[in-house]
Chain A
Amino acid sequence: VSGSSIASLAVLLAITPLLPALAGRTVAWLTGRRGAPLLQPYRDLAKLLGRGAVYSCTTTWVFRLAPPVIVATGLAAACLLPLDGRHPVAGFGGDMIAFAGLLALGRMTLVLAALDTGSSFEGMGASRELGFAMFIEPALFIALAALALATGERSLGGMLGVPLGHGWAVAPASLAMVGVSLFILLLAEGSRGPIDDPATHLELTMIHEVAILDHGGPDLGFLLYGAALKFALFAALVVGTLVPRAGWPAPLAVALLVPACAAVAVLVGVIEALFARVRLAQVPQLLASASALAALGVILLVR
Chain B
Amino acid sequence: MIALFGALATWLAGGFGAWLARRDSRRAGQVGAGSAVAGSVLAVIAAAGALGGEPRVWSSAWSVPFAAFTLKLDAVTGSFLLPVAVIGALCAVYGGGYLRGHAGGASVGTSFAAYNTLLGSMALVTAASNLLLLLAAWEAMTLASFALVVSEDHSRAARGAGLLYLVFSHVATGALLLFCILLATSTGSWEAGAPLLRPDAAPIAWMLVLALIGFGTKAAIVPFHVWLPDAHAAAPAHVSALMSGVMITMGFYGLTRFLPLLGPASPATAITLIALGAAGALGAVLMALVQRDVKRVLAYSTVENAGLVTLAMGVGVLGQAMGAPMIAALGWTAALLHIWTHALGKSLLFGCIGAIAQAAHTRDLEGWGGLLRRWPVLGALAVLGGLAIAALPGLSGFVGEWLILRACFEGVLSLQGAARVILLAAIAAVALTAALTVACHARLLGIGLLGAPRRELPAADPAPGILGPLAVLAALCVLAGWFPQWLVDGLAAPVAAIVRGSGAAIGAGMLRPLGMLSLGLTGAVLGLAAARAALVRRRPVRAAVTWDCGYARPEARMQYTASSLAGPVTAVFAPLMRTRIDARGLGVVWPAEASWSSRTADQAVSGMYRPALGWLTLAMGRMRDLQEPRVTTYLRYLVLALLVALALLFLPIVVRP
Contacts and interface: CB of A to CB of B under 8 A. Distances in A.
Interface stretch (A16-24, A118-126, A187-195): A118-126
Given A76-B521, A108-B438, A115-B450, A134 B569 contact: yes
Contacts of B276: none
Interface in B426-455: 427-428, 430-432, 434-436, 438-439, 441-443, 445-447, 450-452
Contact of A90 (B424, B450, B517): B517
Interface residues of B, number: 83
Interface stretch (A94-102, A234-242, A244-252): A94-102
A124 B567 CA distance: 10
Contacts of A133: 435, 438-439
Interface string A55-88: 1111111101101110111011001000000000
A127 interface: yes
B189 interface: no
A108 B441 contact: yes
Contacts of B439: 130-131, 133-134
Interface stretch (B106-114, B205-213, B366-374): B366-374
Contacts of A102: 393, 521
B559 A119 contact: yes
A152 B413 contact: yes
Could you say which interface size class chain A belongs to? Answer: 35 or more
Given A130-B442, A141-B428, A54 B546 contact: no
A149 B544 contact: no
Contact of A126 (B405, B446, B546, B556): B446
Interface string B525-564: 1001101100110011111111111000010101110001
Nearest to A284: B572
A100 B380 CA distance: 25
B398 interface: yes
A117 interface: yes
B329 interface: no
A178 to B, nearest CB: 14
A298 B424 contact: yes
Nearest to A111: B442
A62 B450 contact: yes
B390 interface: yes
A111 B446 contact: yes
A172 interface: no
Given A55-B543, A94-B409, A284-B572, A222 B524 contact: no
Interface stretch (A32-40, A210-218, A263-271): A210-218
Contacts, number: 259
Given A148-B412, A148-B413, A130 B532 contact: no
B535 A149 contact: no
Given A101-B391, A111-B442, A127-B564, A57 B435 contact: no
Contacts of B402: 94, 97-98, 101
A72 B442 contact: no
Interface in A274-303: 284, 291, 295, 298, 302
B539 A217 contact: yes
Interface stretch (A2-10, A45-53, A254-262): A45-53
Contacts of B376: 60
A50 B532 CA distance: 11
A196 interface: no
A143 to B, nearest CB: 11
Nearest to B392: A105
B525 A130 contact: no
B26 interface: no
B410 interface: yes
Interface in A105-154: 105, 107-108, 111-112, 114-121, 123-124, 126-128, 130-134, 136-138, 140-142, 145, 148-149, 152, 154
Contacts of B520: 76, 79, 90
Given A108-B392, A117-B451, A154-B410, A134 B541 contact: no
A134 B373 CA distance: 30
A58 B560 contact: no
A137 B431 contact: yes
Contact of B572 (A123, A134, A140): A134
A38 B544 CA distance: 34
Given A49-B535, A108-B390, A56 B544 contact: yes
Contacts of A69: 525, 528
B424 A302 contact: yes
Contacts of B529: 65, 68
B9 interface: no
B560 A127 contact: yes
Contact of B532 (A100, A105, A117, A218): A218
B565 interface: yes
Given A68-B525, A102-B521, A124 B560 contact: yes
Contact of A56 (B435, B535, B543): B543
B159 interface: no
B427 A145 contact: yes
B568 interface: yes
Contacts of A53: 536, 539, 541-542
B144 interface: no
30 contacts: A50-B535, A54-B541, A57-B543, A60-B373, A72-B524, A92-B514, A93-B406, A93-B513, A95-B517, A97-B409, A101-B402, A105-B392, A108-B438, A112-B446, A118-B450, A118-B452, A118-B556, A126-B560, A126-B565, A130-B442, A134-B435, A134-B439, A138-B432, A141-B428, A142-B424, A148-B413, A214-B546, A218-B535, A295-B428, A302-B421
Interface of A: 49-62, 64-65, 67-69, 71-73, 75-76, 79, 90, 92-98, 100-102, 104-105, 107-108, 111-112, 114-121, 123-124, 126-128, 130-134, 136-138, 140-142, 145, 148-149, 152, 154, 203, 213-214, 217-219, 222, 284, 291, 295, 298, 302
Given A54-B543, A94-B405, 9 more contacts: A58-B452, A94-B510, A97-B406, A101-B391, A104-B435, A107-B438, A120-B558, A127-B564, A217-B539
Interface of B: 369-370, 372-373, 376, 380, 383, 387, 390-394, 398, 401-402, 405-406, 409-410, 412-413, 420-421, 424, 427-428, 430-432, 434-436, 438-439, 441-443, 445-447, 450-452, 510, 513-514, 516-517, 520-521, 524-525, 528-529, 531-532, 535-536, 539-549, 554, 556, 558-560, 564-569, 571-572
Q: List the 5 shortest-distance A-B pairs measured between CB atoms, nearest first.
A: A131-B568, A123-B560, A115-B446, A92-B513, A52-B539
